[in-house]
A and B are shown apart, each in its own frame.
Chain A
Amino acid sequence: MITSEVILKSLSEVGSTVLLILAGTFVVEALLYLVLVKWLKYKYALPFMLLAPAAIGLIALVIYPLLWELRLSFTNMSLRAFKNPEFIGLKNYVRVFTEPVLKQKMFFPLLGQTVLWTVINIAFHVGGGLFLAMLLNRKMKFKGIYRTLLILPWAIPQVIAVLAWRGEFNFSYGYFNIILTKLGLAPVAWMTDPTANFIAMCLTNIWLGIPFMSVTLLGGLQSISTEYYEAAEMDGANGWQQFKNITWPLLQPVVTPAILLGTFWTFNNFNVPFFINQNELESSDIMVTGLFRAAFQYNRYGFSAAFAFVIFAMLLLFTIFYTRYTKTLKGTYES
């Protein structure tokens, strides 16, 4: 049951926080106004004032914790040395590459597993998303209904979706094994067999990720003028040629950021590998779940901080190379 006490308590908590944020914003803006507008008469006073609240929030909750984490990565902080961690230089970074991250798995097999996971998922997300987007990008009946049903995996809370999928992989009561048994095949041990567990993870995440891609790509497809296709048709281009020479190149401004974001989200996906891997098979771990376990189950804080920066650095390098290679983000960042 819901009581008025609960209602009032959470309202007052949320309300007071909102007031706090408003008051903080007001003070910051007033200060900036005095300094930038009245005193310095700065040309870019207004954009800086517009940016200030978001920037302060990000500095407090992203940059400051990052720097703190960076310092942590140079210490031997763990449960044993919680109170008085010592500075140990780059030792943690050396350990990331030379010691098992958890019990057995070394860094490079874990990296290979994560890359495989990311590549499989992104390939299916983009392929499936593009396929559905192209099917939907036409005048047809029930288009609205299809679109609504197809984005459902995106709309439902991820943890619930993942737990529902885990139920489907149950050995005796899961949907997949019921079907396999009915077909006269042997049921698969989705939860204990390393390969099957990895496949289960991929299936779940592919299901979760396709709607975002298909919606994004459908937006991109709709922005391509039909005149291009009419012109190509007159020149006798067949379907595949039209796709290769019109659709795909003109879709790049949408595809590149979508793939980039998808790569980050998949590479760093926590819910799917963590919850589907119910028996904590080390073979199913990808880097972020390894990171979580190293930090919160093995309590190696210094080590996992270093590990986190290695993951971050790899994604950064990937982004630099990918954007250099495709050159499509230029417009977004330099225009």
Chain B
Amino acid sequence: MSTSTLTSDKAIVVPTRHKRSFFKSGREDSPFKRIIIHIVLIMACIVSVFPVLRVLAVSLRPGDRLMSTDLAIIPPDATLESYRIILFDKPFLGWVWNSLAITIATALIGVILAATAAYAFSRWKFPGRSVGLVFLLATQMIPASMLMIPIYILAIKLGMVGTYRGLVIAYCVTSIPFSVWILKGYFDTIPADLEEAARIDGCSQLQAFWRVLLPLSTPALAITFLFNFMSAWNEYLLARVMLGSSESLMTWPLGLQRLQGQYATQWGQFSAGSILVMIPVVVLFLYSSKYLISGLTLGGVKG
């Protein structure tokens, strides 16, 4: 450990390099330590990617030997047959299209609703504000299956079962609390002086929000959109309850579940479908990963 700088006359000397230990946010590491770090990270990456590679392996296997103790990622007799079947012989693309339409619409509306609400929470001390914020936190404690029965009965009463109406509205709303939390935390880190300067220049309060605050909040907005997108894209339980038995309206989680049900599970097609539906989310994740770290402040970091 780097105690070498603890000598009386070295109070203003720059600390010796190559001695920063693991626990510090090191800028200069010894070559040996650097190698260790790379090895550890590579192992962590393997653990994190491995299950996905196994799904890929199953999707490439020919249909007659899906169950196998083979550990190769790309089997010797790899084939794209499962992909061909799921893309052209099954209504898979229709499911993906349905999911995509619902997801993009709900993610966008969710971000807009959350951003305006977060702006109000961040910039005004209106009556009921702290109750509202505690309520938003409390919603995260509600078990998801708890609201399922009442929402379903509500949807039947309003004639929203078997259409997208109830589902789209529910997705827009359920993502709001977490989005507001992230966005309010981010807005809090942006000084209100900037908006006031804009107002002196003749902007209205809303124009200041739109032209000053929102552009500065791109990282948090991107993250919020990403989270909304993911939760709607992957949602299964509510879609199953709300869409009932309507064939043409199925989203991909329902469709893939259907593949598991018929006679025996079509593991090859199921895996091929899984790989295909991962693509949009992974692409979006990679695209927004530069915002991921700066945008996810969870309302705590100041400055």
A: residues with CB less than 8 A from B are 1-3, 5-7, 9-11, 13-14, 16-18, 20-21, 44, 46-48, 50-51, 53-55, 57-58, 60-62, 64-66, 68-69, 72, 132, 134-142, 146-161, 163-165, 167-168, 172-173, 175, 178, 207, 210-211, 215-216, 218-224, 226, 229-230, 233-236, 238-240, 242-243, 247, 252-254, 256-258, 260-261, 264-265, 268, 270, 287-288, 291-292, 295-296, 301, 305, 308, 311-312, 315-316, 319, 328, 331-335
- Say yes or no: B296 contacts A301, CB within 8 Å: no
Query: Which single residue of chain A is at the shortest CB-CB distance from B90?
Result: A1
Q: Which residue of B lies closest to A6 (CB)?
A: B94
Q: In angstroms, how far is the closest chain B Cβ from the Cβ of A209?
A: 12
Please give the distance in Å from A50's CB to the nearest CB on chain B.
Answer: 4
Q: Closest Cβ of chain A: how far from B256's Cβ, in Å? A: 8
Q: Tell which of B54, B139, B286, B301 touches A148, judged by Cβ atoms closer than 8 Å.
A: B286
In the complex, the answer to whether B48 meets A58 with C-beta atoms within 8 Å is: no
Within 8 A of A (CB), among B216-261: 230, 233-234, 236-237, 248-249, 253, 256
- Is there contact, CB below 8 Å, between B143 and A312? yes
Contact of A308 among B98, B143, B297 (CB under 8 A): B143
Given the known A-B contacts A1-B91, A148-B289, are A239 and B22 also in contact in the complex, defined by CB atoms under 8 Å? yes
Cα A7 to Cα B95 in complex, Å, equals: 10
Complex CA distance for A332 and B20, rounded to whole angstroms: 34
Contact A157 B93 (CB under 8 A): no
B26 CB → nearest A CB, Å: 5
Task: Tell me how many residue pairs across A and B have CB atoms closer than 8 Å.
Answer: 348
A189 CB, min distance to chain B CBs, angstroms: 17
Interface flag for B281 (CB, 8 Å): yes
Decide: A215 near B97, CB < 8 A? Known: A55-B117, A61-B173.
Answer: no
Chain B residues lying within 8 Å of A333, measured Cβ to Cβ, are: 130, 133-134
Contacts of A220 in B (CB 8 A): 300-301
- Give Cα distance in the complex from A295 to B237, angstroms: 14
The reply to whether A152 and B52 contact each other, CB–CB distance below 8 Å, is yes
- Complex contacts, B117 vs chain A, CB 8 Å: 50-51, 53-55
B211 within 8 A of A: no
Q: Which residues of B contact A211 (CB under 8 A)?
A: 48
Whether the Cβ atoms of A64 and B293 lie closer than 8 Å is no
Q: Give min CB distance, A53 to chain B, whole Å.
A: 5
| In contact, A164 and B94 (Cβ under 8 angstroms) | no
Alpha-carbon distance between A242 and B26 when the two chains are bound, in angstroms: 12
Contact with A along B171-192 (1 / 0, CB 8 A): 0111011001000010010000
Q: Is the CB of A53 within 8 A of B113?
A: yes
* Cα(A159)–Cα(B126), bound, Å: 41
List B contacts of A60 (CB < 8 A): 173
Interface hits, B100-149 → A, CB 8 Å: 101-102, 105, 109, 113-114, 116-117, 119-121, 123-124, 126-127, 130, 132-135, 137-147, 149
B143 and A14 within 8 A (CB): no
In the complex, besides A146-B44, A315-B141, 4 extra interface pairs with C-beta distance below 8 angstroms are A10-B97, A44-B124, A226-B25, A288-B143
Residue of A with least CB distance to B47? A207
Are B51 and A58 in contact (CB-based, < 8 A)?
Answer: no
Prevailing SS type, chain A contact patch: helix
Contact of B78 with A by CB under 8 A: no
A51 proximity list for chain B (CB < 8 A): 116-117, 120-121, 132
Cβ–Cβ < 8 Å partners of A160 in chain B: 55, 256, 274, 277-278
Which residue in A13, A258, A292 is a CB contact (below 8 Å) of B164? A13
Question: Is B262 at the interface (CB under 8 A from chain A)?
Answer: no
Establish whether residues A156 and B282, one from each chain, have CB atoms under 8 Å apart when the complex forms.
yes
Q: Which of B21, B188, B293, B299 counts the most chain A CB atoms within 10 A?
A: B293
Asked if A216 and B296 make an inter-chain contact with CB atoms under 8 angstroms apart, the answer reads yes
Query: A13 to B180, alpha carbons, bound, how many Å?
Result: 27
Enumerate chain A residues within 8 angstroms of B146, measured Cβ to Cβ: 69, 291, 305, 308, 311-312
Q: Residue on A with the closest CB to B226?
A: A155
Residues of B in contact with A (beta carbons under 8 Å apart)? 1-3, 5-6, 10-12, 15, 20-27, 29, 34, 37-38, 40-41, 44-45, 47-52, 54-55, 58, 67-69, 71, 88-89, 91, 93-94, 97-98, 101-102, 105, 109, 113-114, 116-117, 119-121, 123-124, 126-127, 130, 132-135, 137-147, 149-151, 153-154, 163-165, 168-170, 172-174, 176-177, 180, 185, 188, 205-206, 230, 233-234, 236-237, 248-249, 253, 256, 274, 277-278, 281-282, 285-286, 289, 292-294, 296-303
The interface residues of chain B lying within 8 Å CB-to-CB of A65 are 147, 150-151, 154
Give me 23 A-to-B residue pairs in the complex whose CB atoms sit less than 8 angstroms apart, sorted by A's number: A2-B93, A6-B91, A10-B102, A17-B168, A21-B109, A53-B116, A57-B169, A62-B173, A66-B147, A68-B154, A152-B52, A152-B282, A173-B67, A207-B51, A223-B303, A229-B24, A234-B10, A234-B15, A242-B23, A254-B300, A268-B142, A308-B146, A312-B141
Residues in B neighbouring A20, C-beta threshold 8 A: 165
A230:B299 contact, CB within 8 angstroms:
no
Q: Which residues of B contact A236 (CB under 8 A)?
A: 3, 5-6
Give min CB distance, A144 to chain B, whole Å. 8
| Chain A residue with Cβ nearest B295 | A219
Inter-chain contact B249/A9, CB cutoff 8 Å = yes
The 8 Å CB contact of B296, one of A16, A72, A215, is A215
The CA-CA distance from A122 to B27 in the complex, in Å, is: 29
Distance of A61 Cα from B167 Cα, bound (Å): 11
Quick one: given A1-B88, A47-B120, A230-B15, are A268 and B54 in contact (CB under 8 Å)? no
Are A218 and B120 within 8 A (Cβ)? no
Cα-based distance from A331 to B169 in the complex (angstroms): 32
Instruction: Kindly list chain A residues whose C-beta atoms are within 8 Å of the C-beta of B109.
Output: 18, 21
Q: B102 contacts which chain A residues (CB < 8 A)?
A: 10, 14
